[in-house]
Homo-oligomer: A and B are copies of this chain.
Amino acid sequence: MSKKYVYLFSEGDASMRNLLGGKGANLAEMTKLGLPVPQGFTISTEACTKYYEDGKTIDDAIVAEIYEAIAKTEEIAGKKFGDAENPFLVSVRSGARASMPGMMDTILNLGLNDVAVEAVAKKTNNPRFAYDSYRRFIQMFSDVVMGIEKSKFEEILDAAKEAKGVKLDTELNAEDLKNIVANYKVLYKKEMGVEFPQDAKEQLMEAVKAVFRSWDNPRAIVYRRLNDIPGSWGTAVNVQAMVFGNMGDDCGTGVAFTRDPATGEKKLYGEYLMNAQGEDVVAGIRTPQPISSLHETMPAVYDQFVEIATTLENHYADMQDMEFTIEGGKLYMLQTRNGKRTAPAALKIAVDLVAEGKLTKEQAILKVEPQQLDSLLHPQFEAKALKAAKPVAKGLPASPGAASGKVYFTAEDAMAAKERGEKIVLCRQETSPEDIEGMHVSEGILTARGGRTSHAAVVARGMGTCCVAGCGEVVINEEKKTMLLPDGRVLGEGDPISLDGGTGNVYAENIPTVEAAITGDFEQVMKWADEIRTLKVRTNADTPKDAETALHFGAEGVGLCRTEHMFFDEDRIAAMREMIVSKTVDQRKAALAKLLPMQRADFAGIYKAMKGLPVTIRFLDPPLHEFLPTAEEDIRALANEMVIPYDELVNTIESLHEFNPMMGHRGCRLAVTYPEIAEMQTRAVIEAAIQVKQECGYDIVPEIMIPLVGEKKELKYCKDVVVKTANEVMEEKGVKLDFHVGTMIEIPRAAITADEIAEEAEFFSFGTNDLTQMTFGFSRDDAGKFLDEYYGKKIYESDPFQKLDQDGVGKLVKMAAELGKKTRPNIKLGICGEHGGDPSTVIFCHNIGLNYVSCSPFRVPIARLAAAHAVVLAKN
């Protein structure tokens, strides 16, 4: 038997969502439940994918199936397409597996033609209604299906109103509308070269193709990318008998939720309009009534609706978002779906549904999208104050939260202002590692250049600091300390500014903010998540402050402590630079000796903050030239400071230049060439652990992570240095402690040879940022130039730096995990790239058997919830 592509509503159910789309599956389910649904049929998502496979044509067999479904639906409705007495009219809507609001406009009243319009006029005794419907249908069909510009139709309508000397559409009578229909048809013929199709089946087939095409319009592609929906899914098409909410005072239409989507409160929530069509509710010409008032208007219908709403919520065990129409006093359900909700509502509904005995905690946690929690974890503007504020520019929403403070243009100025007790928003052309301290003291960061993966964005997200990046609308002059706004105003140092990292909006005023907290429903859901999940969640933290924040958010250890950020502090960079320009090992050791006490204090601070939880410390990673100045002035200053000739210093800096710094002299390659750096860092790690053990009694088991390893012998070399130094320190101090040495897996070769590397590594931590760069062969800093084109051309559907590329990079990660376990069955496996906080990646990590994910402090709760989702989803 050949494949079935078209299903009557009576042939489907809710389990067929992948095939029928969300809307179609729910219409079928409501039909099954015996609810009043105008009947129709669904053309499956597989028909859509086949349409694309067949070079954008609909297979003859599918056409035949559609015709058959029409015939059956006509029979159910007792009407016929184009019938002079009882014409059959339908709506045509898209409906994908996942909800994609606004992907394509709905086409209403399909089936109207010169004959049917007269029949409708007669049947409703309302010619004006009939011709207005016909006019709207021609316009919608021409625009949405045929791509004729809407404005050309508007011109005809406007001309008619002008000729008659009226202003509102409603002032046109049936005759006027009849003329307009005639003119519309002339326009259609002029544009398309053929008459407006009178055959309803032809209208339908064109509309179906338009829905299929809309799956790939730019809006849909962007939506899918942002919402993680595969392009291969396709959309279904729903064809449903029309019912009219605008045929008189016993008609109406509305939308309602079974609970408040903003707060989660358990009460019917929604609105309706009498004698109106759906689009009137949206258009806002008339003010809709609250759903509760339907109780007075049509008590029987209201009671029926309340009963249906209760039935649906109980049936789906979730808050429902429903559309309905009342035609001639009779209620029809046009749609139901699990309703979108805010994060607080999602948490409350989940907790309430468990309390009501409708869901288990395992089911309930799935009702909260991990990503949603983000908005609850950062300061937000006071809602009232925000309403009154007006944005002056818009950049990219690079790191969430809200910030309000005074404008400063350099890290130094920001730090000085912080000393004075001010709140700062750091505004830079773009940031560099030298700005770290200034970024740390700021409430928010604004850059004029750079994308969501620029330095500012990445660092800000790591810090949990609000950031608006790449705001090209403003012109920042760091020298003059001015920022030119699009409206011509100029902001100077100390002027008030506010940023919304969730929208990218910039305000030239102070807007008060409120802090985040994990309490109430949030706390309850996180408790359930922790009970369910098996994957541990650690944090990426470079400072005690980060570590404390993460601990507060539930982190179970530090998965990545980057030691290089510590070297940018003003009092350290000098010693660091001295180390770098050293000509001999002894000079280098002398400079490192200055850094040792600082590093030791750094690590001690983090150990204390984590209260004995495991801490993974990554050894120095970036290429050394990142620590050196580039401007002549700064180089001269450094030369003076170090008492070396300017030319010599310039030569040293030039000799460190790299063509591709990402693939240069960095990571463990530094430890191989300058083992004394690894010696100093080991000493700091072990001495700090001994100190904290003695001071606080925590039994620290430091985990030393060697970055950028690509070959077992490379790790062995570094490990030998670490072990030798650690033993020396322990002997000196007379204290024995355990420590582990492992590696980042962030180079393809490391993944491929992970079985060998595991002979030396006690743990692997997947550095998926670099691994993604190397595996794809593009650098994050440069890919921005072409990735948009790739999204537009459907080559990539999501940003591989945000969501782990499971087909490519993920395959390497899985391979490495398996190879690693083969050699060392109890090897500890984690991930510490930015992906560690991405829910889909967390689920992937659970599924391939990693022990933990590590992410920035503000993503810890998200990862905890996603890890719990992973367990529940794996059981389903």
Contact = CB atoms under 8 A, between A and B. Distances in A.
Interface in A661-707: 661-665, 669, 672-673
B774 A777 contact: yes
A748 B663 CA distance: 15
B775 A749 contact: yes
B770 A748 contact: no
B812 A778 contact: no
A142 to B, nearest CB: 29
B672 A795 contact: yes
A455 to B, nearest CB: 11
Given A748-B812, A795-B714, A809-B749, A663 B786 contact: no
A779 B663 contact: yes
Contacts of A658: 779, 781-782, 785
Nearest to A670: B786
Interface in A754-785: 756, 770, 773-779, 781-783, 785
B777 A663 contact: yes
A785 B717 CA distance: 18
A752 interface: yes
B793 A776 contact: no
A747 interface: yes
A673 B792 CA distance: 10
A808 B812 CA distance: 13
A713 B230 CA distance: 14
A786 B795 CA distance: 37
Contact of A748 (B672, B753, B774): B774
Given A775-B748, A776-B749, A779-B664, A672 B808 contact: no
Given A714-B795, A777-B774, A789 B673 contact: yes
A768 to B, nearest CB: 13
B663 A782 contact: yes
A779 to B, nearest CB: 4
Contact of A672 (B660, B661, B717, B789): B789
Contacts of A527: none
A669 B785 CA distance: 10
Contacts of A748: 748, 774-775, 777, 812
A672 B790 contact: yes
A811 B752 contact: yes
A732 interface: no
Interface in A797-826: 805, 807-809, 811-812
Q: How large is the interface on A (under 10, 10 to 19, 20 to 34, 35 or more residues)?
A: 35 or more
A51 interface: no
A495 interface: no
A770 to B, nearest CB: 7
A708 interface: yes
A807 to B, nearest CB: 6
A796 interface: yes
A710 B793 contact: no
A711 interface: yes
Given A781-B660, A812-B748, A672 B786 contact: yes
B786 A669 contact: yes
Contacts of A747: 775-777
Nearest to A785: B665
A663 B662 contact: yes
A786 B673 contact: yes
Contacts of A786: 665, 669, 672-673
A713 B794 contact: yes
A659 B659 contact: no
Nearest to A655: B785
A783 B660 CA distance: 10
A329 to B, nearest CB: 53
A717 B793 contact: yes
A708 B659 CA distance: 19
Interface in A241-270: none
Nearest to A658: B782
Interface in A136-153: none
Given A659-B782, A663-B773, A672-B795, A752 B812 contact: yes
24 contacts: A658-B779, A659-B782, A660-B660, A660-B662, A664-B778, A664-B785, A665-B786, A672-B790, A673-B786, A673-B789, A711-B796, A713-B794, A713-B795, A717-B793, A747-B776, A748-B777, A748-B812, A749-B808, A752-B811, A752-B812, A753-B808, A753-B811, A756-B807, A770-B777
Given A749-B776, A752-B811, 13 more contacts: A659-B782, A660-B663, A660-B781, A662-B663, A663-B663, A664-B779, A665-B785, A711-B808, A713-B795, A717-B795, A747-B776, A748-B777, A774-B777
Closest 8 CB pairs of A and B: A660-B779, A747-B777, A663-B779, A664-B782, A659-B781, A749-B808, A748-B748, A660-B660
